[in-house]
Chains A and B, each alone.
Chain A
């Protein structure tokens, strides 16, 4: 009985020591991280603080948007950016914007993950008197100051017109489509088809879906090339799928004379601009990232100047001649 008690005593002492160690292990990293957090934390003093809520950092196009926006913001000494990455999660993005609202940022820039789930919170921010700039994907209604987004239909149309020019108004085309039901996929298809419809010699012989992905683009292009003896041009709704088509055509010895065009024109060594410079793609059409326009508009609004409700940054045709200047954007 006595032995039993001492065991229990020892156990109790051990327990309390463990508890102490445990709470230390919990508190120490937390305080360390928070300290580092506060050093980088939101703005104080006379600077304007802009809360920037990004839908995700996983897509290269969005990373590029972040880079451009941060670079432009860096040129403006009076503004400071507080950044939140929603990691493709609507619930997280709502919480991120709620945090900005609590911080009473001077302006909100948001690129919504999806329209509907973010509409309520963006409306609340706007109605509380904080100006809101929306990038790329809009929300429902008009509770925002400015929407900045490229017009995918126009970009598709530009691609279609250039395709017709490359083909001399005659030939067989494969269109590789993005994720079904997504607005860019619908618009990039509609614009392209509108443009090539003016040329009766151009036939779209296949229009497979590759969900924006390079590997699926390659698979679908292989199937289309196998099914059709003569293909003159492949149009991918984005550069990765167009690159997939290039890989397929090269592997099948069908690259000779085949024209391939894409959309996006991302900078960097992995981007579409480099693929055009290397001759893998014949052309790509810039999907502008809105970062520069966002900061320009934010400065206008913060200076109490009038900003337009909608801004549509233009596309650009990237071919071998001008590709170099887009790589270092």
Chain B
């Protein structure tokens, strides 16, 4: 049992190292291929680096939630739809309901939590695989998003009769450079790290993902752990939806398509195993940044958008090859 535990820890460290290696490789490549303006690399421009953080923050927050679910051996395909639902509900509450920022945030986050709870309930009590349950929720939450918004984007306007100015802070910047969405993303990573590494819940999440039956037999409340991870995942998807709404000044029920795949890709590139049990949230941060840097450098070089998709596919496979064991 101890030996098994040691190897597991060793493996986690190794995969984390590999993810960092990937980040360093991609970062160096980005510097090498960065276009130059007035003798300076555009890629390393502080404004560009914070642009990258801002661009990845929504998907990064979702990927943090996805890390919990995947660590526990599950998958959540509904996050993109939950983002769309949360963005739509935010816009509708602010613009049509006349609610303030705090009430809106509370209600939307609670709605996200509720969706996660429903996912978990069906998965644990109905004994259905999370893939299928969240696939159903992917459709269900998309339907909810279209219902609350009436089918098309609800735009946010500030000032008299519109949304309170405080909401715009969520999509804005602190000072010249620091995007608020990026700060929220980094804070989410920090809190998730504490939750996964310093709490009993975190240990249980790893245990359930490694061996569900053994965990159950040794007295871990497996259903409660699953309840926890799916609730966290949907909650974070709702948080990302609120930020999405604030950044684009619009709650659009049709947004967030394929975000679940981007989140899963970030988690996998970050070294978390899709079979559960091993992985870290820092790895997910790294995976998110790798995708963000690649998108950015390809964009700065005006590469065709379809080539970017192709490259992302190749990199996911490369990352999984990195993790494979003998």
Contacts and interface: CB of A to CB of B under 8 A. Distances in A.
Interface of A: 10-11, 14-15, 18-19, 21-23, 25-27, 29-31, 33-35, 37-38, 40-42, 82-87, 89-92, 94-96, 98-99, 102-104, 114, 116-117, 119-120, 181
20 contacts: A18-B324, A21-B321, A22-B323, A23-B22, A25-B322, A40-B302, A84-B302, A87-B305, A91-B55, A91-B247, A94-B247, A94-B248, A95-B51, A99-B51, A102-B48, A102-B51, A102-B300, A103-B37, A116-B155, A116-B250
Chain B's interface size range is 35 or more
Nearest to A19: B18
B261 to A, nearest CB: 14
B19 to A, nearest CB: 11
Contact of B311 (A10, A33, A82, A86): A33
B325 A15 contact: yes
A27 B27 CA distance: 11
Contacts, number: 150
Contacts of B322: 18-19, 22-23, 25-26
B296 interface: yes
Contacts of B155: 116
Given A19-B322, A102-B48, A34 B296 contact: no
A98 B326 contact: no
A42 B302 contact: yes
B299 A95 contact: yes
Interface in B232-258: 244, 247-250, 252, 255
Interface in B274-326: 294-307, 310-311, 314-315, 317-319, 321-326
A18 B326 contact: yes
Nearest to B21: A23
A63 to B, nearest CB: 13
A22 B324 CA distance: 9
A83 B18 contact: no
Contacts of B306: 85
Given A82-B302, A91-B248, A29 B314 contact: yes
Given A41-B301, A84-B305, A87-B305, A23 B18 contact: yes
B193 interface: no
